[in-house]
Amino acid sequence: MRKKQTKYGIATKISVFGANYTATGTNLTIPLASLPGVSQVEADKDDGDYRRILRGILDGVQQAHSNLPETPDYFTITKSGFNGLGGTRVRVSYTVSFDMDVTEAEVIEETQPV
């Protein structure tokens, strides 16, 4: 597979998953340290909780994305503040948006004119 260069560079695009992120032909490996609040117990394949892993992925990407020196034009991720649900419960929401190319049904490359 050909790697596409964008104005943000290949390293910047994957750096949101941490320095030890790896990809092979069949697997992606995201270090636990890149997932805020996710412990090894929570990520355990037999007894873990997928909701905590997903929240860690979203939170980690949102934090890393907001710290980029220049954020992509065709992708956004935002996190809400805490919304009280009563008692000790709160809800947090994430909004992820991608600009898509209608002819390819794929995320628009950052170098592509709109």
Q: pLDDT of the chain along its 114 residues, tens only? A: 334 445 554 434 566 777 788 888 899 888 888 888 899 999 998 999 999 999 999 998 898 888 877 778 888 889 998 888 989 999 999 999 988 888 888 888 776 444
C-beta atoms surrounding 71 within 10 Å: 12
pTM: 0.76
The domain locations on the chain are 10-107
- Quick check: 41 and 28 in contact, CB under 8 A? no
